Structure 1
Amino acid sequence: MTAEKMLGNDLPENIRIITLPPYSPELNPVEELWNVMKDSLCNKIFGTLEQIEETITTFLSSYWQDARKVLSLVGCKRLTIKHRSLAPPEQRHKQKFV
């Protein structure tokens, strides 16, 4: 179900839904968070599920405490609205190839 179907006309004026093309994870900011989190969790052995949960909670708490870290994830250089980049000015012309 899409946000538009769920909210209908009840969307606040300052919120706008931007639909993304299907199969485009590079446009979804949470994908970058998963990549960063996987890098910090890989090659570790956990004895219990609680240890995994604690490690993930510790990792995410740094994002909860520092809004700049969150913004660094959504600074996608390719994502634009009406041909205006959403990336901070200092990052707009840098390319990252993996």
Structure 2
Amino acid sequence: MTAGTLTRADLSEALHHQVGLSRADSGKLVEQILEHMCEALSNGENVKISGFGTFVLRDKGERVGRNPKTGVEVPIAPRRVLTFRASQMMRDRIVEAG
């Protein structure tokens, strides 16, 4: 794995080494999992991975924003945003590693 960013290729390579799947099969498995998650999120479902965290869709209402340079107020349209909330187990692991 590269320092700083975990990539699809890193996940695939870890599956290849730790589970023993071929590189092609591990790559397909990673893609299938990510596709399933994206499909669920696009259908308005939240995605919870036990021991890792939850991807939650939130609807944000319209609000007024301000250009910091000019001070001009601009309406910001309502939108749906994706947030991630780490599980307590994940937070504890991060604190231990730090």
Superposition TM-score, scaled by structure 1 size: 0.31
Which structure has more helix as a fraction of its residues?
Answer: 1
